[in-house]
Every structure is written in C-alpha cells, then in structure tokens.
Amino acid sequence: MKTAKIKIFDTTLRDGTQSEKVSLSAEDKIHIARQLDDIGVDYIEGGWPGSNPKDMLFFNLAKKETFKHAKIVAFGSTRRAKNSVEEDQNIQALLNAETPVISIFGKSWLLHVKTALRITPEKNLELINDSVAYLKSKNKEVIYDAEHFFDGFKDNPEYAISTLLEAEKAGADVLCLCDTNGGTMPSEIITILQTVKENVNTSLGIHAHNDSGLAVANSIVAVENGCEHVQGTINGYGERCGNANLCVVIPNLQIKLNFSCIFPEKLNSLTQLSHYVSEIANLSHPTNMPYTGKSAFAHKGGVHVSAVMKDSRSYEHVTPESVGNRRRVLVSDLSGRSNILFKAKELNIDLDAHKEKIPEIVKQLKDLEYLGFQYEASEGSLELLISKIKEEYKEYFNLLGFRIIIEKNETEEVRSEATIRVKVGEHFEHTAAEGNGPVNALDNALRKALTEIYPEIEQMKLSDYKVRVLNAKDATAAKVRVLIDSTAGGNTWGTVGVSENIIEASWQALTDGISYYLMKNRKNGIDLNKSQFSE
C-alpha cells in the first residue's frame, strides 16, 4: 500500500553547494530557505556547522527566522574514533547549531571503513550507535544517512544491514539509504530495498546521486518500494553530476503517482522556485529541464503544433500550468501555418483579416532562418516582420549613415566613437557619442539622435547581448548572429540581426529593439507633437 505522505528533504544549501560553480552566501541560503518553506518542503538542510564559519552563520541567521512548515537541519558525521561524543567537536557543533533536526552520516561500505577511517568494522558500528544515541538523548530528531549504502550492500550485504541496525537500535528516526557514487541501477534499488525492509522497522529514505543519470528514477522507484523520505536538491545541483532533482521528483510523485510531497496549492510555484534558485546561484537555467525548463512545453514542428492546438494532451504529458510553466510555440524553418497562428494569438497579433498573408509569412521565416536569423528568442523581430508583411508597420526613423571610429595608441585604452545621421519624418539629426566599444557607441549615438523626438527611449535598456558565430570555418570572416534583449517597464523582448559584419548585425538587432518598443507604445506611428506614449 502506498504511503500518502512523502517527506521532502532539501539539501540544496549543503549538498547543492558542492556543485561546481555554485557558491551561496549565508544570506543567499536564507532567501532560498524561505522559498522552500513557502512551498511546503519538510526539511531544509542548511550545511555542516563543524566544517566552516559560513554554515554556522547561516544557522545563526536561521534562528531569527520563523518557518511555518519546514524544519532546519544541521549535517555532520559520526564521532571520530579517537573521541568520545561529549568531546567530539563535530558532534558538539551540530548541537550548537540549535536545529530541531540533525542529519548524521556514517559508513556502510567496508571499503571506506578499512581504507578511509582505518578502523575495524566493529569500531565503525560503535561510532554509529554512540553518535545517534547521544544526539537522541539531546531531544533531537535524527536522520541517519547511510553513506555508500548500495555499494556497501553489493560488497557485503550483512555488514551494510548491520550498520542500519545499529542506527535503528540507537533510536534514529529515519534511515536514509545513500547511493553516494550514483552508480546503482533502478532494478538494484528495488531488490536491495526488499532485503532492507525484511530486516529493519524504521522509516526509510533515499538519497540518490546522478552519476548514471538515474537519480530521479532511483528516487521514484525507492518511494514506490517503501521509502517515505526523499532527499535531493533544486535543479539537481550537487557534487560531480549532481543530486536527484527535486523539481522533477516532486511533480512525478505528486502528479503522476498521487503522493503528497509539498502543499498542493504551491505545486504551480515550482517553476518560479527553480528559476529563482538558478538566479541566486548565478547560473543559467537549463532550458531543457523537465517540468520547469523554458523548453519543457515548447513546440517547434508544425505537425506538433497543429496537434497541440486541437488537444494539448497530444504532445504534453501534463499541463504546463500545473507546475507554473507555460506553453510556447516556436517559429523556425520547421514552422507551418499552425505555428504562425498560435504565435500570432500569443502575441495578440490579429491575422483573421490577413489570412492570405500567412503563406508569405511562413515563406519569409523559412528564407530568413536559412540565412541564419533565429526567431525563437527574438519575438520582437518576429512581430515587426509580421507587421511589415501585413503592411501595417510605419517607419519611425530612417538611417542616412553612420561611421564608427576606434582608436588606440601606446598609452591610452581603446576609444570608440560613433557618428550617425538619421531622418524622422522631415526632421534630420546628426550626432555623435562614445561608448565602451563600437556597438555601445553606436547604441548611444542612435539614442542621442532619437531621444528628443521619442523621449520614452530613455526608459528602455539593453539587458543582454549575445553573439553567435554561424560558420566557424570562415574564422574572422564568419557570419554572426546577434541577439539582443531589451527591457522597459518590466517587459522584456528579444531582437535579432545577422551579417558577416558584426556591426551590421548589431545595428539590425538594435534598431529592431527600438522600433518594436515604439510600435508597441505608439499606435499611429510618427507623431512629432507628442512626447508621451499614445494608448
């Protein structure tokens, strides 16, 4: 019989920070902990207080917080062989963290007992029993992490089980079985769990690493075979290949298998949480991450889009809204009529009166993508293109010419200056500006030329600039694609340019960004008498 409630144990703040390129301050950890508590995570492992001052600072800050649901957990190891529990600094640091729950790990694999600890098997059992019993005597909830349990079991089943029995005898509240090296197959998890359940009575947990790409699968089968406690991290962060990704484990258990993991009403906050943690960690969020990735519910092929428009179940295993994500339809050289219709609806573009233009839109998209343009991440340029084909677009300015000068001598840094001439209606502007580089100088000069007529441009900022070489074999003569993200008033849009000349590609993306912004805010095109947006 399935267990209704699965306890979720998040170790993003401890095991997740062992991931390459992840470093969280104590304040960062508090911010993440608040979000984890808000969605209904049961345990939040904050770090190892005996290992570094930063983790101890987190626990001190956590004491001042009020968590409505989650319990903060301190992590550490069993006592050292030469110390008593009362004198062991690690054990005392765990108590000094003043958390209601302590997660303590011990050795399950004789290889580690003999080569890492260099003690006898019997002494290792004593360390486990002493440490757990001592922490229980201090009125702590104790989660015993059986490190390397599955490898230890495969090496010597009797001894691995004996380590669990020592922790159980000492009063551990949960026995968490760890696939520390991440090499265990799901079928092995099932078989080993059956033996474990025949020998122990304490609640079981699973802590899976992803070195074989199976951390999520192993966590799922462990729950299906009796585990009531799952450990993992947001986005799967963790040492080497990472830990079980809770942003995948939770919806699989809660949506697909009807287990209760987090607050039901907060399941649709999962995507927001996933991206929030990436942002705090200063890492790009993987677009192809199941459930929460930007591409998780993105459709590109025309046949797929046509089917999704009729019934989303045809190409979506769950509704994107259930996890707080959204459906996206991409336009590319694979696009068909269905993609254009869906995308137009998403962008609030009326094509009902222009259905005869749809074949031309599709053809131009395919032709432009063949040249290197990409509209999946540049919806601003896409909307401009459709508007021009519909013959609804009005030019806001015309380029008469620009010149860029780059200077460097022996004593000075590189200096970039752009001079530009533009025409707006019957009005001419000729101006110049400097910048950090040629593209920045060109951007500054264009804005300077247009701001008097379109003062709202001052509210618009460039938030990202990317350059992609399209044919690397041509080296410095290669065609490049420039993608620019712009933002204003909380809205963000992307534009694209392609050329063998990086300045020309940048110019295309820059001017598309400004033109799109003006088009969205000025219905009637050029209006030299108005400085405010027309609605």
pLDDT digits (tens, 9 = 90+) for 276-309: 898 888 887 898 999 999 889 887 766 676 676 6
pLDDT at 111: 96
Residue 118 scores a pLDDT above 70: yes
Is residue 392 in some structural domain?
no
Instruction: For residues 307 and 11, give the distance between their C-alpha atoms in angstroms, rounded to a whole number.
Output: 40
- Lowest-confidence pick of 123-137, 153-167, 204-218, 471-485: 471-485
What are the start-end ranges of the H helices in 21-99? 26-39, 53-62, 89-96
Categorize the per-residue pLDDT at 337 as very low, low, confident or very high, splitting at 50, 70 and 90. Answer: low
The number of domains in the chain is: 3
Same domain flag for 494 and 418? yes
Categorize the per-residue pLDDT at 410 as very low, low, confident or very high, splitting at 50, 70 and 90. Answer: confident
Which 8-state DSSP code applies to residue 245?
A: B
Instruction: For residues 246 and 124, give the distance between their C-alpha atoms in angstroms, rounded to a whole number.
Output: 32
**Among 248, 280, 312, which residue terminates a domain?**
280
* 96 closest CA partner among 129, 151, 59: 59
Same domain flag for 201 and 90? yes
Residue 56 scores a pLDDT above 80: yes
CB-based contact 156:117 (threshold 8 Å): no
Q: Residue 347 CB: number of other CB atoms within 10 A?
A: 12
Residue 331 scores a pLDDT above 80: no
Categorize the per-residue pLDDT at 314 as very low, low, confident or very high, splitting at 50, 70 and 90. Answer: confident
pLDDT at 531: 36
Instruction: For residues 288 and 276, give the distance between their C-alpha atoms in angstroms, rounded to a whole number.
Output: 16
- The pLDDT tens digits for 341-376 are 666 666 677 676 677 777 777 777 777 777 778 776
Tokens 């593209």 belong to residue: 439
Average pLDDT of the chain is 89
pLDDT at 525: 43
**Among 371, 389, 423, which residue terminates a domain?**
371
pLDDT at 119: 96
Instruction: For residues 245 and 209, give the distance between their C-alpha atoms in angstroms, rounded to a whole number.
Output: 9
Same domain flag for 236 and 327? no
Residue 185 scores a pLDDT above 50: yes
Q: Tell me the average pLDDT across 477-502.
A: 88
Instruction: For residues 179 and 238, give the distance between their C-alpha atoms in angstroms, rounded to a whole number.
Output: 13
Which 8-state DSSP code applies to residue 240?
A: T
Is residue 384 in some structural domain?
no
- Report which of residues 468 and 411 the model is more confident about: 468
pLDDT at 468: 81
Residue 76: give the domain boundaries.
7-280
What are the start-end ranges of the H helices in 119-156? 121-137, 149-155
Domain CATH code at residue 429: 3.30.160.270
368-392 in b/e burial notation, b at 16+ Cβ within 10 A? bbeebbbbbbbbbbbbbbbbebbee
Helical packing angle, 26-39 and 53-62, nearest 10°? 50
- Report which of residues 308 and 185 the model is more confident about: 185
Is residue 124 in some structural domain?
yes
pLDDT at 532: 33
Tokens 């889009």 belong to residue: 305
Cα separation of the two ends of the chain: 60
Same domain flag for 202 and 92? yes
Same domain flag for 490 and 356? no
Q: What is the DSSP string of 361-390?
A: HHHHHHHHHHHT---TT-HHHHHHHHHHHT
Same domain flag for 23 and 82? yes
Same domain flag for 325 and 260? no
Same domain flag for 342 and 271? no
Give the number of residues written for the chain: 535
pLDDT at 342: 67
How are beta strands 203-208 and 174-179 bridged, if at all?
parallel
Domain CATH code at residue 232: 3.20.20.70
Same domain flag for 272 and 304? no
* 387 closest CA partner among 532, 534, 535, 518: 518
How are beta strands 491-499 and 174-179 bridged, if at all?
unpaired
- The pLDDT tens digits for 242-265 are 999 999 999 999 999 999 999 999
Question: Which residues does residue 230 pair with via DSSP β-bridges, in sequence order?
Answer: 8, 206
Q: Tell me the average pLDDT across 103-122.
A: 95
CB-based contact 232:214 (threshold 8 Å): no
Which 8-state DSSP code applies to residue 284?
A: P
Is residue 380 in some structural domain?
no
Question: Which residues does residue 175 pair with via DSSP β-bridges, in sequence order?
Answer: 144, 204
CB-based contact 498:506 (threshold 8 Å): no
Q: Tell me the average pLDDT across 63-78.
A: 97
300-333 in b/e burial notation, b at 16+ Cβ within 10 A? bbbebbbbbbeeeeebbebebeebbbebbbbbbe
Q: Which of 148-157, 498-507, 510-519 has the highest mean pLDDT?
A: 148-157
Same domain flag for 354 and 470? no
**Among 249, 280, 311, which residue terminates a domain?**
280
Is residue 27 in some structural domain?
yes
Residue 29 scores a pLDDT above 80: yes
The alpha carbon of residue 173 and the mean position of all alpha carbons in its chain are separated, in whole angstroms, by 32
CB-based contact 470:440 (threshold 8 Å): no
Is residue 251 in some structural domain?
yes
Same domain flag for 157 and 268? yes
pTM over 0.85, yes/no: no
* 13 closest CA partner among 217, 208, 231, 172: 231
Is residue 528 in some structural domain?
no
- The pLDDT tens digits for 430-468 are 999 999 899 999 999 999 999 989 999 999 988 888 888
* 175 closest CA partner among 231, 234, 213, 218: 231
Categorize the per-residue pLDDT at 84 as very low, low, confident or very high, splitting at 50, 70 and 90. Answer: very high
Is residue 287 in some structural domain?
no
Which 8-state DSSP code applies to residue 391?
A: T
Helical packing angle, 438-450 and 502-521, nearest 10°? 30
Instruction: For residues 372 and 403, give the distance between their C-alpha atoms in angstroms, rounded to a whole number.
Output: 25
**CA torsion through residues 505, 507, 513, 515, sign:** negative
Distances, alpha carbon 394 to alpha carbons 251, 355, 391, in Å = 47, 21, 8
Same domain flag for 342 and 208? no
pLDDT at 524: 42
- Report which of residues 392 and 324 the model is more confident about: 324
